[in-house]
Every structure is written in structure tokens, then in C-alpha cells.
Structure 1
């Protein structure tokens, strides 16, 4: 159908604040919204590398980019006051499970305290109408469920990262119930949270993630040891949950409270694949890639979920959202970005067009 045909002029000229805009998902969201004509403000730490999507697409020239820490409430509140955003997407986070074991306090300060700062600024600044908190599929209490977690399932988290995302969900729910229900002074505000699958796509160079680790090994002509290749994850292309968030935003804007709440945007259970499956599928697009991989199953010092699935039937039913790409199409998009000599803004827009033409 196409991105612009789907959303027409809905986002045009709306002022939108994205925290974490220099990150992987935040940069792709920023490009989509820029193409839809939004006035964008970003708030985040600097990008990790000069190869990050935010840098190679020159996004800093296409939006108001403010470098800052999500733990700085005064700066965040001043941004709300100065720019008066209509819509807020909160993606800024410490996103790595392993890092949460090394620095648990920072993880909790950023993922919990940062969420409180954004929610509080949203609460006290009248112009902001919609906030979507992007959390994680790891926010659920892990039970190794084969049928997928539903939005009403118990929130938990074994490790510091996962539990910090569970806490972020609880705080979001508490703010929604306490301040943004009918009869409250902020009844015109709508608040939701989004839980996606294992998001993959171009421009991600974060450490301890499968795709970036693979692409670094390929680039540096190094062997890569893959731990626990039989672990199952809900892999999905980065534009799948972004499509969901954009649909959710439009519905939240037009309906008072109906669409405020928690939402899963993950692949169907028959699209679950192991780490080894993904490696082998990458090998079909990149010659001799599998020769650079060493698989091993070893006892880890840190806990990791073996099976992680989401039930997205609520989004299917109430938003008309579904995953568009097969896993083969997803890997083709991902490998296409990393093998591109010049993955600039125009190349990203081309991938966005190719994806939304399938919707």
C-alpha cells in the first residue's frame, strides 16, 4: 500500500519527541516519521559508532537532535516546555542483558528512572497528548511458554535488564491508571506500552547482539563463536513493530481510552526460529559466511531465556496489524543493508518503501 498512503497526512506537521533517536530502532522510526512530514525532536546519548544508522543517514540534519541523558529530568522537562510535543515515543534505554549484569545500578537508573522522568514530564506538560513506551518482550515473567505471552500475563524478569523492563511496564500502567483515566485532570492524554520481538535490521552495531556480531565478524574477517545456537527468539524486521506503533498512535489519537494499554507486536508462533536457523539463512545471502561461525553450547555465567514467544492476537484483532515479511524476506532486507556500500538516507527510504508496499 505504501507508507504515505497508509497514514496520509496524519503525522504531517505534528511535533514528535523521540527519546533514543540515535539508536537502532529510534533512527528507523525517525526516518519513517520524517518521510511522513512530522516535526521531529530527538533526545538521546551520542550514537555508538560512526557506522550507526543515525550517522550514515545524516539524520542530525533532518531533525532537532539534542544530546542528553534520560536520567536528567530538568533537561527533559525543559525540552517538553520548549518544543511542546504532541506525541512522544520513549525508546531510550540500556538495552543489553549482559551489560545489566556488569552495571545493574545504571540499568535500573536508566530503564526505570528514565521512564519515570519521561512519564512525569508528559504528565505535567499539557500539550503532549500521546506517549508510547517501547519496552521489551523480556518484560514477562519467564515460563518458557510455547503459545506466546499475552499482554495480561504476569510481568517479571529474571535478570536486571528484563526486570527493569518489567518495572517500566508497571510504572507505565500505574501512571495510566492514576493520572490518565476518565475523570482525571489529564483525561486528554493517552499512554501505551509496546513489546516487540527480537528486532533486526540494518544500522545496528550494538554489542552482544546476533546480527551486529555476525556483521562485525564478516567485516573483520574473524571467526565468531555463537553460544546456545538452539535458543528460540521471535525474530522480526525493524519496520514490523514500527508499523505497529504508527498504527497504534493514529488509533490512540482518534479514540479516547480504547487503545491505551499494553500491546505486543511480535511474529506468529509458526515464525519462531533458533539462533542457528538465522545464521544459516544469512549464509544463503552471503557466500562462505557459515565458515566464519563456530557453534557451541556452554554453561553461561548469566541467565538467558531459552524460549521466548509473543502472542500478538490483540494487535491483529484490534489494529489490523500483522507481521508482513517471512523470515527469508527479513534476512534479505537485513543482509541487503549491511552489504550496501553506501547505506545512506536514500537507501533506508528505499527499504521503507519496499516494506510498506507489501502492507
Structure 2
């Protein structure tokens, strides 16, 4: 019984539901019996998991920009959600260099708009404000960042995520910390997320699939960059766990939590592509990638999160080993693109397999209370 059957019949609003993580979250919520409403400004990529899975026919679908306060307020008040997962954002680092103002307004003003609507509602609601591991001031140190470490960043994208966290914190202390306020809010931070159905620009797995699907070799900029790769279902299980616990435990109100993979999942870009290429069916790494010296913007060499707080307070821990993460990612693209299997069914199958593994490994959200 995933998440103790908490989501069955719940009204859940997902901002950014047409994006990669938002679409996976929407499918999972639907499988849990939730009534899902989505709010996004567009379908950000073509192809997309949202379109391939025909999610517009399976949930309440709204096109709107989180910077449009009036429309956002109308949708929230009409739908009357029990839970909000706020994922809508400008998520691409390279885009932030070309469009810094759009990045800032989407990530900061958009978050403020969600919180401002919530400030004035009169029914109980829990909200998970999702930012990024990039919200931390990255000092390139070897240990994981904790929720109490400094926010910030040397680039526009990181700055916008750090600023969104500051807005969340100030709204909590100004309004949501009051005992009689019906809304509870938390923030969640994760990064280096991979998985099937991602076609965003300048993301390593998506770039590979585009190239390999056209029998081309992908160009990589930073082959030795090390990342703690995690499958998309890992942080989503954290967000879903957090919402359940927040509804029942007021002590979580106003807190922030990191969600990341096992410590052994730090691997270089080259190591990831070698493994992913095998799952896709490439005969050798020579056909998988070539290294280019073109590095148009600053990229962090190392950034990982310390997830002890989530383990101690939520009893949440990552579910997958590295090889399972890569296998799930590569097999989704292989089954959908090469074998022409139904994208929604493949996604549901992967969620079911992930839940079964969680049961075997006795993850807290997959156990009886």
C-alpha cells in the first residue's frame, strides 16, 4: 500500500505537470488514486512524456504561467486542492545565460505567486515547494550540502533557486508559522535527476537519446564531471513521503529537505554514458560520444547533497542502486522509441517495479503503518 493509501481520493495540484518530473509525478499520483490538476505554461519539449502518455486526457489540464497571478489564483480556488506540488520553473542552466530575467521571474516570482495565493486560502492544504540542489552556494567541496548550508550561486540559475528558497522561508515566518493558518509548507531539494521521457535541451541523457536515435554521436563537454545520478522516481518518492508526513506532523512545517541517491552513485559523465549506451544497444563507446572543448558556461565539477535529515526525520532513503537507475532510464527509451511500446504503460510498469523493490527493501512509504 504505497504511501499508506494517503493519496486515494485526494485533490492534488501539480504546477509544471507537463515537464519531465511533473509528468512522472502526475502518472504516479493517478496510479495512487488521486484526482490530479495540472498547471503549466506549455508543453516544454517535443517529444514529451506528457504528450506521449496522453496525460491531457487523464487529468485536469490547465495551460497557464505561474507568473500570471490572477489565473493561478483562479485555478487554485476552483480546484480547491488538498495538496500542491510546485515544480513549475525554468529548469535549464544554459537557458538562464541567454534569458536571465525570464529565469529569475519564473523561478522567484512564480514561487512567490504560489505562496501568495496559499497565504489567503481558508481550507487545509499542504504544499511542497520544489527547488533544486543548485540552490546551495557551491564551494566544490567533497561532502554533501546540508539544509542549513548557505544558499546562493555564481550563476543566474543557481541564484534564482537560492532566491526561491529565501522567498519560501520569508513567507513561512511571516504567515504560515502561525498556529491558526490552514496551510503547511515545506521545500524540497534534489538534482542530477535522470529517467525516461526527458527531452530537455542541454541535459546529458536527453542529448544522448536525440543523437543515438539519429545514429549520431553525442558531444560531451565535461567527461570527468562527477554527479550523484538518481532516477526520477527517487526524489518523487521523497516529495510524496514529505507531503504525507507534513499533513500529520505540524513540526515539519517550514522545514527544508534534501533528496538524493545512495553515496555510491557518484559517477562521471563518461561512466554514465558507457552504461547507458549498453542498455540502448550501442556496440561500443566510440559510437556513444565524443569529447568537445566547447564549454560555453560555468559547470560545477561536484555537487552532492547530504540527505541525513530526510532519513532521520522522515525515515526516507533512496531505493535504487546505480545500475538499476541506469537500467530503468535506458530501458524506458528503448521500449518506447525502439520497440514502440505505449509510453503510459511503460511508465506505469516502471512505477510498479519501483514500488515492488521498495517493498522488498522495506522503504517506509511502502510499509503498513
Q: What TM-score do you get using the length of structure 1 for normalisation?
A: 0.95
* Alignment match of 2:68 (pick from 65, 72, 76): 72
Matched ranges for 1:41-190 at <5 A? 41-183=37-179, 185-186=180-181, 188-190=182-184
Partner of 2:349: 350
* Alignment match of 1:207 (pick from 201, 212, 232): 201
* Alignment match of 1:287 (pick from 282, 288, 303): 282
Partner of 2:24: 28
SS of the residue 1:345 aligns to: helix
Q: Is structure 2 residue 319 aligned with structure 1 residue 320?
A: no
Shift of 1:270: 2.7
Shift of 1:291: 2.4
SS of the residue 2:38 aligns to: strand
Shift of 1:122: 1.2
Given that 2:86 and 2:127 are in contact with CA atoms closer than 8 Å, whether structure 1 keeps it comes out as yes
Shift of 1:138: 0.6
Given that 1:268 and 1:310 are in contact with CA atoms closer than 8 Å, whether structure 2 keeps it comes out as no
Q: What TM-score do you get using the length of structure 2 for normalisation?
A: 0.92
Partner of 1:332: 327
Shift of 1:10: 1.0
Partner of 1:301: 296
Deviations 1:251-277 (A, max 9, x none): 000111335411000123332111111
Alpha-carbon spacing, 1:104–1:50, altered in 2? closer, same or farther (3 Å): closer
Given that 1:88 and 1:128 are in contact with CA atoms closer than 8 Å, whether structure 2 keeps it comes out as no
Given that 1:50 and 1:56 are in contact with CA atoms closer than 8 Å, whether structure 2 keeps it comes out as no
Alpha-carbon spacing, 1:162–1:289, altered in 2? closer, same or farther (3 Å): farther
Given that 1:282 and 1:289 are in contact with CA atoms closer than 8 Å, whether structure 2 keeps it comes out as no
Shift of 1:8: 3.6
| RMSD of aligned alpha carbons | 1.4
**Would you say how many aligned residue pairs link Structure 1 and Structure 2?**
353
Give the gaps of 5 or more residues in structure 2.
359-369
Partner of 1:230: 224
Deviations 1:35-58 (A, max 9, x none): 111111100022234431111111
Query: 147-156 or 220-229, which moves further after superposition?
Result: 220-229
Give the gaps of 5 or more residues in structure 1.
none
Q: What is the rounded CA distance, in whole Å, between the counterparts of 1:196 and 1:89 in structure 2?
A: 14
Shift of 1:295: 3.9
Shift of 1:197: 2.5
Q: What is the rounded CA distance, in whole Å, between the counterparts of 2:105 and 2:205 in structure 1?
A: 27
Shift of 1:297: 6.1
Shift of 1:29: 0.4
Alpha-carbon spacing, 1:295–1:223, altered in 2? closer, same or farther (3 Å): closer
Q: Is structure 2 residue 306 aligned with structure 1 residue 311?
A: yes
Partner of 1:246: 240
Query: 213-222 or 121-130, which moves further after superposition?
Result: 121-130
Deviations 1:1-44 (A, max 9, x none): xxxx1324311111111000000000010011111111111000
Q: What is the rounded CA distance, in whole Å, between the counterparts of 2:213 and 2:277 in structure 1?
A: 14
